[in-house]
Structure 1
Amino acid sequence: MRISRSKNADRRPRNDDDAIMPLINIVFLLLIFFMIAGKLSSADPFEISPPSSTSGINEDTGSLTLLVGPNGETALDGTVMSETDLGAALAERLQANPDTILRLKADGGAKAGDVIDVMEIIRDAGAGELNLLTLPEDS
């Protein structure tokens, strides 16, 4: 007498890798989703810790950002440059688009004189509006 097994009892994945493929597909799809959904932004060329204030202005991504570091270094849109190069670059960009709003992001430990010097460069370049970026004060 012969005992026959059902066809489903012998059905196993041909290979152990076949059972892992759906998991790999899901992980891959999640990776693609987070890569597309995540917002990538460039890092500042040096560390900036803005001072606190009770009123703040939200960052606008369509404007120029100037950075003043704790040691007086300056940068325009992530490119470190000297104050003379900063003035020339600002004048060129403002000439192309005079309605550009400038955002000044200065370190809380930066000397007031350094920040004032950069503000004078901005004024001499012909800027119409300047926003000083700060962190909201903890209440």
Structure 2
Amino acid sequence: MRLAHLHRTRAANEDDRVLPLINVVFLLLIFFMVVGSLSATDPFAIAPPQSSNGEPGDPKDIVLLIGTDGRLALDGRVLEAASLKSAMTERLVDAPAQEVHVKADGAAAATEVVGVMETLRAAGVERVRLMTVPGGVQ
């Protein structure tokens, strides 16, 4: 009869050693889920130019990417330059006063960036902001 009692105690002790480990693993899992954040990546690599005055953009605003090779992406979707005006007009139907953030690569041709900005104006965009990376004045 005494052996049965020892067997039950031993089984309980094995569970007692595993439970704190499981608790720690779940706490670490919850910690990394809360602390870690997922962010949307750009469809192609962009290295914006540096400026002495940089302000963070509002995540609700429209973001237009301009690559070094002239590729365009509107809110994470790659599109052709010819369809930019129609895509912007369609996007501005819901919120006509919305600001457009242009995130151009620092090595992109200035004439390309200006041409895209003129297309945005023709599509009815009233506010355009060129996004830059904060840096020191050189």
Q: TM-score range by the shorter chain?
A: 0.7 to 0.9
Where in structure 1 are there 5+ consecutive unaligned residues? Answer: 1-6
Checking the alignment, whether the CA contact within 8 Å between 1:66 and 1:103 is kept in structure 2 is yes
User: How large is the RMSD of aligned CA atoms in angstroms?
Assistant: 2.5
SS of the equivalent of 1:62 reads coil
1:94-126 per-residue CA deviation (whole Å, 9 max, x = no partner) reads 122112111000001111121112111111111
Structure 2 residue aligned with 1:50 = 48
SS of the equivalent of 1:116 reads helix
- Determine whether 1:68 maps to 2:46: no
Provide the rounded CA distance (Å) in 1 between the counterparts of 2:82 and 2:12: 70
User: How many matched pairs?
Assistant: 133
- Determine whether 1:135 maps to 2:133: yes
1:65-122 per-residue CA deviation (whole Å, 9 max, x = no partner) reads 0000111100000100001222211111112211211100000111112111211111
Structure 2 residue aligned with 1:99 = 97
Checking the alignment, whether the CA contact within 8 Å between 1:49 and 1:106 is kept in structure 2 is yes
Provide the rounded CA distance (Å) in 2 between the counterparts of 1:15 and 1:87: 70
Range moving further from structure 2, 93-102 or 42-51: 93-102
Q: State the 1:38 CA deviation.
A: 3.2
The equivalent position to 1:115 in structure 2, one of 102, 113, 128, is 113
Q: Deviation above 4 Å: which 4+ runs of structure 1?
A: 10-18
Higher share of residues assigned helix:
2
Provide the rounded CA distance (Å) in 2 between the counterparts of 1:117 and 1:135: 22
TM-score, length basis structure 1: 0.82
TM-score, length basis structure 2: 0.83
Provide the rounded CA distance (Å) in 1 between the counterparts of 2:77 and 2:104: 15
